[in-house]
Amino acid sequence: MSRSFLQFPDAAPLFITSIPVQITDLNYGNHLGNDRMLALLHEARVRMLQTHGMSEMEAGGASLIMGESLVIYKGEAFYGDVLDISIWADDISAASFDLLYKVTTVRAGTEVVIAQAKTVMICFDYAARKTRRVTARLLELFGQGG
């Protein structure tokens, strides 16, 4: 089985937030659990949307659901680490888009990459129970608006 890799855009990230690793984020290996990594990515995504007056239930006229996720671990995160999560948008299609995440921390003055991740977000209409087009508000956030 081949290993996955992610290619990040050259542009600056759309959003960066810092989230500390809490004691409840640790697993039996005494490091950040894989389930908690997805939760931290979710928190970062919600913060990004909130900064732009949106939420996962109201993103400019559509809700957002996750269709796919990929996390590539590059290192361990421990209690007390402050994780910087950077987010880019990529591969924007009619009804979906990718969010790319780079998760880093600083140790002894050096940036350490903890993980790279991708979530495929699908625009959804819960009332009609079907996908819908990526909204103008999201396209504007992604620098694709007119």
pLDDT digits (tens, 9 = 90+) for 56-86: 999 999 999 999 999 999 999 999 999 999 9
Single pTM value for the model: 0.95
User: Is residue 4 domain-resident?
Assistant: no
Query: What is the number of structural domains in the chain?
Result: 1
Question: Can you give the residue range of the structural domain that contains 111?
Answer: 15-137
CA atoms in the 13 A half-sphere facing the CB of 7? 2
Beta bridge partners of 97: 121
Matching residue, tokens 């810092």 = 18
Provide the CATH number for the domain around residue 92.
3.10.129.10
Q: Tell whether 21 is covered by a domain.
A: yes
The answer to the question of residue 8 being in a domain is no
Which residues, in sequence order, are CB contacts of 101 under 8 Å at separation 6+?
41, 44, 85, 86, 87, 115, 116, 117, 118, 119
Q: Is residue 9 in a domain?
A: no
